Amino acid sequence: MQIPFGQPSLGAREARALMRALRNGRVVGNGVLSLKAQAHLRELTGARHALLTPNATQAFELFLHTGAGAAGGFLGPGDEVILPSFSYVSMANAIAARGATPVFVEIERETLGLDPVAVASAITERTKLVLTVHYGGMACDLDGLLAVCGERGVPIFEDAAQAIGSTLRGQHLGTFGAGACLSFHATKNVTCGEGGALLLDDEGAMRMAEIAHEKGTNRSAFLRGEIDKYTWVGTGGSYVLSDLLAGMLDVQLERTAELNARRLEIWDLYQAGTQWLEDAGSVFRCVPRTGCDHNGHIWWMVAQDQALADRIIDGLRGEGIQATFHYQALHASPFARQHLGTDGLDLPLTTQVSDCIVRLPLSSSMNRKKAETVMRALKKVV
């Protein structure tokens, strides 16, 4: 492709960080480079605690080990978790793997985040958690969700995988609920190839998390010199990130403002350059929430029908431009229909978005000239 959908911005600084880690033999997890990156992440987000993980999925799984992930205890069979159907499958998988039931509800048109009214209607005595997604790094209706969930005593987990550097009224996304995950996958604004993080505020949850983080042991306390030996003290898994990747991540975290600014320049250009499509009634586009300073992670539009979406994507590919679709609605997936009984679930906006969304190329490696080429090609193919 002449213009790929995305490409990470990696250079000499990241290469030097990797080489330093190799020369020093710092390749295992929870070493000095991980501690440095975690401190950097706490400073950047304002979170009290941050733990690096191999990916955002495992950050959420780690959260579920803390007991903070369920009203009244740990998540298990008979429990329900409310989340958007228009989302990546990872979180639903983690919920189902614990025997709990993912409950899919409708999204809002402006940001494709959870609709608080739909959440309020879906909460039952079995609801233990609401999982919201800040799609494209854009704040969902947190005020509405916090009000609904606060009234009903249900904790919120923020999937902020795409939201590094995004804030709402100056507060970093991922610091409003009981916990949050971030992703540092190669497609994200800030990357180490594969990586993630769990953000927490509660001290008790953090103590549980660091035990689960190190295979159910108190190794973290041992590494801090608080005990002379470590042993098995709880349940957990292997959730640490290699220091090799943590060193690279720390460099990228230092570049967060720069990397986000590059994306925002392209995002703004696309937003201005596609107004004509919305004026014609052909698409609807993101409406950033008042007070949200987003990171420009994704630029999207939803076509009036699938035929138009396909025409745009296929036409742009014919011009050497990799535009693409996104999530397939989880409630319509074979697994959900077979195992969760979602055949009769009607989520019309989710279905339209899943069928008709178009994402344009956007990355920190992209320049304005290429974005202008995309805009010219779009006018040609529509």
Residues assigned a catalytic role: 188
Of 327, 378, 315, nearest to 356 by C-alpha is: 327
Distances (CA, A) of 94 to 49, 100, 102, 322, 365: 22, 9, 9, 31, 33
The single residue listed with the structure tokens 């996104």 is 326
Other C-beta atoms closer than 10 Å to the C-beta of 340 total: 18
Using an 8 Å Cβ cutoff, are 166 and 292 in contact? yes
Indicate the helix (H) or strand (E) that contains 207.
helix 203-213
Buried b (16+ CB within 10 A) or exposed e, 293-309: bbbbbbbbbbbeeeebb
**Residue 165 buriedness (CB in 10 A; 0-12 / 13-18 / 19+):** buried
Percent of the chain that is helix, strand, coil (3-state, to 5):
45, 15, 40
Return the structure tokens found at 311: 């025409």
**Residue matched to tokens 């779009």:** 378
